[in-house]
Amino acid sequence: MAKQFILDLIKAMTLEEKAAQLTQLSPNYFDEKTSVTLTGPYRNFDLTKEMIENAGSVLGCVDAQTYCKIQDAYLKKNRHHIPLLFMADIIHGMKTIFPIPLAIGGSFDLKLCEESAQIAAKEASVTGLHVTFSPMADLVRDPRWGRVMESPGEDPYLNSEMTRAMVRGYQGKDLKESGRLAACVKHFAAYGAGDGGREYNTVDLSRGMLKEYYLPAYRAAVEEDVALIMTSFNTIERVPSTGNPWLLREVLRKEWGFRGVTISDFNSLDEIINHSIAADSKEAAKKGIVSGLDIEMMSACYVTCLPELVRTGEIKEEWVDEAVLRILELKDRLGLFENPYKDADQSGAERIWLCEKHRKAARKLAGESAVLLKNNSVLPLSKANNLKIGIAGPFAESKQVLGGWAGQGENKDAISLADGIRAVLGNENVVTAMTQELQERLTGFLDVKDETKEAVKALKDCDVILAAVGEHPGDSGEAASKTYLRLSKNQEKLIHELKELSKPVIVIVFAGRPMEIEPILEDCDALIYGWFLGTEMGNALTDLLFGKVNPSGRLSISIPHTVGQIPVYYNYFQTGRPYQGMSPQERFASRYIDCENSPLYPFGYGLSYSNFIYSNLNVCTDSKKRGATASVLVKNDSDTDGTVVVQLYIRDITASVVRPVKELKGFQRIWLTAGEQKEISFEITEEMLKYYNNKEEFIFEAGEFEIMIGDNSEQLLKEKITIL
C-alpha cells in the first residue's frame, strides 16, 4: 500500500510535472559547469526551464560537492520539494576496482562477489550516488560482443547466483542504510544474444529459449528485491524491449511480481523510432508508457509529449501516475525525502577510497578470478637462487588493467605486473622489454612496434620469461564488437621468438573476452588468463606466480579454438546426427571438417597447483520428493593446500522438447589441505529438474536423468537415475 504523503504528492502534481519526473538528464542540464563522459549519442534537447526544474533523476558520475550543489539548487526551485535521484554505472568498483564481472563469475565465489559489490556501493554512495546500473545479468555466448566483459558468463545458473550476490551486496537489507545503493539489473532482456555479436543488434529467440536460459538471472534479481530494471536496446519477438508490453507488463510485473522502477537504456525510447515501430516522439512516448516504462533516460519523448497524450485521451493518466508512484516510492525507500543528500561526503570518500581493507578484498578476488589454463610444471615459481625474471609485452609495465566501466578508478592507482614482481624479487632481478602499450583500435592503432629482436636480446640471460599480452581495455565493453579475436601479429611473434630462447615461457593474457589463443599454445609452458583484474592486478598475479595463492579460478565462458566456432558453449542441444564417438572420417554428422566441435577450453575449466581426484559418485533417489541426493569423494592428492570448485551438472535424457546435453545446477568451493579428502553432497530437487515446454509451462516430467559431478563441464563422473 502506497504511503499517503506520496499519493498526496501525485494528486498535487500537474501533468507537466509528472512527465518531467519520468525524465532523466545529464548533470550539465542542472549545472552548466559540470561535464561528464556519457556512453551514448548526446543531444541538447530543447527543454524549457520548467521541464528541467522538475526532472526526476540525473545520469552521470561526478563528486559529492557537485551532487549536493545540484540537489540544493533543485530543491529550492521544485515546488513540491521532491529530491533528485542520482544514477551512474558502478559496475565492478568505484575507486577500488575489482576484476571485470566475467572474471568474477569465474571465481565461483558468491561471498566475495557480494563483498565486492558492497565495497563498490560504499565508495560510490559517499559521492552522492543513489543508484548503480549493475549488475548486468545478460547471458553471453558470443565473445565477439564487447560487453561479454560485463556479464558473469554463459550459464544461466551461475549468472543467477552471481546476480543475486551483487544485488545483496549493493542493497543490503535496507536502502536507507549508510553505504547502500539501489541496484538496477540490466539489460532486460536477452541483450547478450544479439545477432553476430554486434552491439545494439537484433535478438530473435523462441520463448522457450528466452524463459529457460536468458531470463532466469533477471528473475533472480527480482527475487532479491532489486530496486530497478533497465530495458535493453534490442528487439524481443520483433518488438524493441523498451516498448514491449509483453516483456514489461506481462512477464516482469504480472508473472514475476516486480514492483520496482523500470528505466530505459541511454536514448533507447527515442530509438524505437529507428526500429520503425514508432513514427515520431509522440508515438514513442505512447508506446513506452503503455508498455510500462517508468523512466526515460537521455531522451525527451515523455516530457514533451505525455501531457498532450493524456489530455487528448490517447493514454490513461493512471499509467503516468503508476510510473510516478514507483519513482517516488524508490526515493522514499532510499530515505531521500528525509535526507536528500543521503551519504554524500567528499571528505568521507577520500578516507575510504582505496583504503587497505578495500585493496585487500580486491587483491583476493583478483587472485580467485584469474584462470590457470596450462602448466607444464613451471609454476609456481621459486624465489630461491636469485631468480631473474624477464617480462615482455604491452602489459609488462602497463597500468591499463582496470577494464571497461571502471567507475572513477584511475590507472595510476593500479599495480602493474612488473611492479608486483619487483616487490617480491627486487628491481635488479626484473628485466622488461618491448613494453609499448596498446591503444584503442578505434584510434586507428593496429599493433605494437615490432621489437622482438631487441626483446630476445634483453631477456636472454633471464631464468624465466613472462609474456604479458592481450587487448586494450577500450577494445572490450560497450560498442566494442570485434570479428578478429587473435592477439595482434607482433604479440604472437614476440611469444614465438621468446620460446626460441629455450627458457620457460609463461603467457598471461589480459582481455575483456575470450581470445583466440590456440596459435600461441605450443609456445608457452604455462598460460594464465588474466582478464582485467582491476586495481590490485599486479599483486594478485604475483601471488599466483609464486604460489602464495593457489589458482582456483574457473572459466565462466568457453574459449573457442577459432572465431569460426562461435557461438560455442557447453549446454548445447544434441542434434539428430551427433558427431560424438564417430570416426574422424565420418562426413554425415553435425561437425566441422576443419575444427573440433568442442571449445579449446570448456566452461568451468581451470587448473590448480594441487591435484584433485574425484571418486565414489553416489546418487540416491527420493521418490516422495521427486528428487535425489548426489555425493562424491574429492581428494587433494598433492602436497599443496588448495581450493577446488566442485560442479554439479544434470541432463534430462528424454523429454517432450529437446534438452541440453548438460546443465550446471550447483557448485561448491571447497578448501582441501594436502592429502585431505571430503565427501561433497548436493541435494537435487524437483525444481532443478523442471523446464519450460512449448506451452510456456514450467513442468517436471518423470523419467531418466544423468547426474554428473566433476572438475569442469567436460571432466565428469556420471550416473543415471530414474525419478517417477
Determine how β-strand 703-710 pairs with β-strand 642-652. antiparallel
Cβ-contact 203, 210 below 8 angstroms? no
In angstroms, what CA-CA distances link 450 with 261, 492, 509, 518, 593?
A: 52, 11, 18, 21, 35
Measure the CA–CA gap between 542 and 538, rounded to whole angstroms. Answer: 6
Cβ-contact 459, 383 below 8 angstroms? no
Q: End-to-end distance of the chain based on CA atoms, in angstroms?
A: 43
- Map grid coordinates 519450460 to a residue: 692
Active site residue 46: no
Residue 234 phi/psi, 5-degree rounding, is -80, 170
Q: What is the 3-state secondary structure (H, E, C) of 213-255?
A: HHCHHHHHHHHCCCCEEEECCCEECCEEHHHCHHHHHHHHHHH
Q: Which of 142, 155, 265, 523 is catalytic?
A: 265
Element (H, E) at 24: strand 23-25
Measure the CA–CA gap between 124 and 179, rounded to whole angstroms. Answer: 8
Residue 528 phi/psi, 5-degree rounding, is -115, 130
Measure the CA–CA gap between 602 and 313, rounded to whole angstroms. Answer: 56
Measure the CA–CA gap between 713 and 721, rounded to whole angstroms. Answer: 19
- Map grid coordinates 493524456 to a residue: 310
DSSP string of 646-699?
A: EEEEEEE-S-SS--BS-EEEEEEEEEE-TT-EEEEEEEE-GGGG-EE-TTS-EE
The rounded Cα 241 to chain-centroid distance in angstroms is 20
Measure the CA–CA gap between 106 and 605, rounded to whole angstroms. Answer: 9
Measure the CA–CA gap between 359 and 362, rounded to whole angstroms. Answer: 5
Q: Is 442 exposed, middle or buried (0-12, 13-18, 19+ CB in 10 A)?
A: exposed
Closest Cα partner for 145 from 477, 560, 531, 562? 477
DSSP string of 434-489?
A: --PPP--GGGT-------HHHHHHHHTT-SEEEEEEE--GGGSSTT---S--BPPH
Cβ-contact 429, 502 below 8 angstroms? no
Cis peptide bond prior to 135, omega within 30° of 0: yes
In angstroms, what CA-CA distances link 34 with 26, 38, 65, 73, 266?
A: 9, 12, 11, 14, 19
Three-state DSSP at 507 gives strand
DSSP string of 298-348?
A: S--HHHHHHHHHHHTTSS-HHHHHHHHHHHHHHHHHTTTTT-TTTT--HHH
Three-state DSSP at 624 gives coil
Sheet holding 663-672, edge to edge: 663-672, 642-652, 703-710, 716-723
Measure the CA–CA gap between 56 and 85, rounded to whole angstroms. Answer: 7
Sort residue 348 into left (φ over 0), alpha (ψ -120 to 50) or beta: alpha
Measure the CA–CA gap between 43 and 45, rounded to whole angstroms. Answer: 6
Q: Active-site residue numbers?
A: 265
